[in-house]
Amino acid sequence: MSSESRPPFGVLLVNLGTPEAPTAKAVREYLAEFLWDKRVVDVPRPIWWLILNGIILRFRPRMVAKGYASIWTDEGSPLMAISKQQQRALKQQLSETFGQDIPVALAMTYGQPTMEQAGRELRQAGVDKMLVLPLYPQFSSSTTAAVYDRLASGLKGCPHLPETRWVNEYHQHPLYIQALANSVKEYWAEHGQGDKLLMSFHGIPQRYEDRGDPYPSQCRATAKALADALNLQDDQWFCAFQSRFGREEWVKPYTDFTLKEWGEQGIGRVDVISPAFAADCLETLEELEEENRENFIEAGGKEYHYIPCLNDRDDHIQMMVDLVQQHTQGW
């Protein structure tokens, strides 16, 4: 391909990943890859191998598969379906913005499509400059850094490495905060406003923060920025963390404990949003929408409203376009 016909750059969108099907077998294969990553679980390998293979992968896949089955769609996993929508929308908007075709490939850190598959797609499109955009607004060693590791591993066999730039995080990007605020305002305009807005972020072990992981502080900064954009008073919003795994202490306060306490206190209605997720997935559609709804209602709460992730909203895609423009200057 001649240099004149090559695109100026390509974009690699990356999200976490999803099982191929809502079955115990597919979930087991996915969890085996996901939970073996040292970025995700840093327990010494010999000990962790015994725990993972002797306990977790024997019993957990069947339970997790039921959760996936409850949210599975005709297009498959919601995370995968939405990620593909984001990929198509971003490609269209970038082509219109730059006046030429800008290749956008989609990869998952775990599962399909792999980094290698996405890399081949970009190479076939003539890309020799690549912007990596992990769809994690807040940086964590367990998510964003895992993308670095996985891509580096995939590039080991590449005879010609692309010039690469990264979007580390965008937790306070003005267009990101505005898109979150727009989604909340639009929901309130249609359904009314609750007594409290709970901003629930995926948690990490407390020791990760203790050793320097910036993720929790960035989550708190996102929550404060969103509260300010919505002109909320301090008693109208709260930041908490969900999705604990194992017995060790995780970053607090916990989402499920908070909702139970609010239900017991007689808070009538709570609205819940999860700004850490760029696309609705198991942790939002099953854990937040279903499990934590039960926690709140059974404890005495009256109304529970889940506000969807930004997904392929126009303002969310436009934020991605702005990130691409910002990080590809000079290309």
Query: Residue 1 has what pLDDT?
Result: 57
Which H helix or E strand runs over 10? strand 10-15
Distance from C-alpha of 171 to C-alpha of 173, rounded to nearest angstrom? 6
Query: Residue 104 has what pLDDT?
Result: 98
Tokens 């960035």 correspond to what residue? 218
Overall size of the chain counted in residues:
331
Query: Residue 3 has what pLDDT?
Result: 62
Show the domain range for 42: 24-71
Number of domains comprising the chain? 3
Tell me whether residue 2 is in a domain: no
Does 146 lie in the same domain as 42? no
Does 198 lie in the same domain as 154? no
Tell me whether residue 218 is in a domain: yes
Tell me whether residue 223 is in a domain: yes
User: For the chain, what is the mean pLDDT?
Assistant: 96
DSSP string covering 222-246: HHHHHHHHTT--GGGEEEEEE---S
Angle ∠(115,120,123) on CA atoms, nearest 5: 125
Does 298 lie in the same domain as 195? yes
Does 301 lie in the same domain as 238? yes
Tell me whether residue 4 is in a domain: no
Query: Residue 92 has what pLDDT?
Result: 98
Query: Residue 20 has what pLDDT?
Result: 97
Query: Residue 157 has what pLDDT?
Result: 83
Does 181 lie in the same domain as 302? yes
Does 301 lie in the same domain as 182? yes
Does 194 lie in the same domain as 298? yes
Query: Residue 197 has what pLDDT?
Result: 98
Does 242 lie in the same domain as 225? yes
In the chain, which residues have pLDDT < 50? none
Tell me whether residue 202 is in a domain: yes
Query: Residue 170 has what pLDDT?
Result: 98
pTM greater than 0.85 (yes/no): yes
**Which tens digits make up the pLDDT trace of 125-149?**
999 999 999 999 999 999 999 999 9
Percent helix / strand / coil, the chain, rounded to 5: 50, 15, 35
Distance from C-alpha of 260 to C-alpha of 237, rounded to nearest angstrom? 16
What CATH number does the domain containing 243 carry? 3.40.50.1400
Angle ∠(319,197,282) on CA atoms, nearest 5: 65
Cβ-in-10-Å burial (0-12, 13-18, 19+) of 226 comes to buried
Distance from C-alpha of 127 to C-alpha of 10, rounded to nearest angstrom? 6
Radius of gyration, CA atoms only, the chain: 20
Does 197 lie in the same domain as 302? yes
Angle ∠(77,79,84) on CA atoms, nearest 5: 100
Does 301 lie in the same domain as 231? yes
Does 185 lie in the same domain as 160? no
